[in-house]
Amino acid sequence: MSPYHRLLPVLTGLLFIVIWYAVHFSLSTEERYLLPRPDAVIAAFRTEGDILWSATLNTALGAFAGFGGAVVISFAGALLLSLSTLVRASLYPFLMILQMIPIIVLAPILILWSGPGFLSVTIITFLICFFPMVVNTTQGLISTDRNLVDLFRMSRAARWQEIFLLRVPSALPYFFTGLRIAATLAPIGAIVGDIYAGNSAGGRGGLGFQTIIFSAQFKIPALFATAFASCLLGFVFVGTVVALQWRLMHKWHDSFHRSDS
Amino acid sequence: MSLPPSTVEFRHAGKRYGDGPQVLDDFSLTASPADFISLIGPSGCGKSTLLRLISGLSPLTSGELLVDGHPPELAARELAYVFQEPTLLPWLTVSRNVETVMRLRGVPAAERKATRDRILSLVRLDNLHNRYPRQLSGGQKMRVSLARALTLAPRLLLLDEPFGALDEMTRDHLNEELLAIREQQRWTTFFVTHSVAEAVFLSNRVIVMANNPGQIHREIPVPFPYPRTEDTRQSSDYHRLVAEVSALLRSVERTSA
């Protein structure tokens, strides 16, 4: 990539801000509150800074716990599912069902079971992250090159060797596909969870809770600031996953080596 | 060298997959130690199936197959298989790929390393130890695959069209190298190929097969002495034999079409 390519996102960003100002000033004076100016949003970051920071941390914590739990359990689940078509046939429909229950419906049940707060938010995040990861990882574990499996069998490899020296590493690209999807979903899951099953007592509120407060207070620049804080949190999650993937795969995987075309 | 190359004996062997057609029917063939047998024939004649049967990956449906006097799944596993594709682990370096089979068999690290270095120089890849498969050419990948197969000093070597995807120059070079290595390590070899020239150059016995069901059409002995070199390829005897086998193969393919 040439240095000019790296500048492109900066240019689109600047253009975006210019358009933003233009739209703001094209509105009639009475309507301008609907789209606060960018500098007003930045000002909101300053005035509401402490609240936003602690809300972001709380949401990050819930997102991280749910995401981490989903990584561990989906990996174990994928190993189980990869064992046989029989296991897959008997469990897949229930995974689908789990994925299809809307969080809004689940939230009151969760609140009954574990009360509003961190645990419920974590469980909601977990549920949102789990499905894409377990499906992708399973697909990876069962897509191993047939010849390599034969090679391992002819070499009298033990079952655990076939799984951990062959199937798991060849599933890595699939695993990361799931992980990237889950990383974008984790902060969203934690925010939605916070709205429906959060607990704000003692400064435990997250970004979802703050959204409700700011909108009740009609602090529109602060709402925009909350949205940006959520974006930043998402970037941190996805960025970490991308960095980890680069670390583990850039030496050998073709996707990190573009051809000239 | 410890044990001599393997003996392989097919007695009226037959194979079908499930309810499918008979892939192999009444196939009888005895490979003596150090035989280099090439299998050539139209697609679907069961050449690759033969290799899978010998490897013990797939059972016979009728008849008998003995490797060193035992059923293939019980035979001592001094057997190596080279696939049509290089079949390397893309996340491992050349060194680690070559060590894979030894690692699975529990060969100690020091011995692994010594064998790996020796074999890699045998296939002339000494300077590529730390490359990853994606950084190699097709010919280099195939050399790594061959090197990995040779690490256990096999007594029986099964090659399923290993050089089929390579250009002719590379293929000729690898053919010569394979025979050169064979002077140092002795194996009984089954070699599946679509190239008559390759089959005649490498083997002491060429088996032309017919399909539907897979059977031996004709066996042609190749009398040229080893070691064979580029000079063998220039000789008129060689060209005459290649022409003869090609004609045979064409006649089989005509009747099977």
10-residue averages of pLDDT along chain A (261 residues)? 80 94 92 91 92 93 96 96 91 88 87 88 93 95 94 91 95 96 95 87 83 92 94 95 95 78 42
Q: In a 3-state reduction of DSSP, which class is residue B218?
A: strand
For residue B238 the two structure tokens come to 């060689």
- pLDDT of B99 reads 96
For residue B67 the two structure tokens come to 């490797």
Residue B146 scores a pLDDT above 60: yes
A163 phi, psi to nearest 5 deg: -75, -50
- pLDDT of A202 reads 66
Q: Which of B107, B104, B108, B126 shows the shortest CA–CA distance to B117? A: B126
For residue A42 the two structure tokens come to 């930045």
Which H or E run includes B16? strand B8-16
Mean pLDDT of chain B: 92
Say how far residue A260 (Cα) sits from the centre of its chain: 32
Residue B9 scores a pLDDT above 80: yes
Q: Give the predicted TM-score (pTM) of the model.
A: 0.87
Which residues does A contribute to its contact with B (CB < 8 Å)? Answer: 145, 147-148, 150-157, 161, 165-166, 169-170, 172, 249, 251-254, 257
d(CA B145, CA B162): 9
Do the chains contact at A252 and B56, CB–CB below 8 Å? no
- pLDDT of A235 reads 94
Query: Can you tell me the mean pLDDT for B230-255?
Result: 92
Alpha carbon dihedral B92, B98, B99, B105, in 10-degree steps, equals 120
Nearest CA in chain A to B79: A154
pLDDT tens digit string along B105-130?
A: 899 999 999 999 999 998 889 899 99
Query: Can you tell me the mean pLDDT for B130-154?
Result: 93
d(CA A254, CA B193): 30
In the structure, what pLDDT confidence band is assigned to residue B188 with cuts at 50, 70 and 90?
very high
In the structure, what pLDDT confidence band is assigned to residue B151 with cuts at 50, 70 and 90?
very high
For residue A248 the two structure tokens come to 């583990």
> Looking up tokens 């299998």, which residue turns up?
B39
d(CA B48, CA B164): 13
d(CA A253, CA B138): 17
Within 13 Å of residue B44, how many CA atoms lie on the same side as its CB? 10
Residues of chain B with Cβ-Cβ distance to A152 below 8 Å are 104
Burial class (CB in 10 A: 0-12, 13-18, 19+), A90: exposed
Determine the distance in angstroms separating the CA of A147 from the nearest CA of chain B, rounded to an integer.
6
Q: Which of B147, B249, B146 shows the shortest CA–CA distance to B206? A: B249
d(CA B42, CA B214): 9
Taking the Cβ of residue B104 and every Cβ of chain A, the question of whether any pair is shorter than 8 Å is answered with yes
For residue A92 the two structure tokens come to 């897949």
Which H or E run includes A194? helix A168-197
**Residues 3..42 of B with a Cβ closer than 8 Å to A: which?**
none
- pLDDT of A261 reads 42
Residue B36 scores a pLDDT above 90: yes
Do the chains contact at B90 and A253, CB–CB below 8 Å? yes
- pLDDT of B94 reads 96
C-alpha torsion sign, points A243, A247, A248, A251: positive
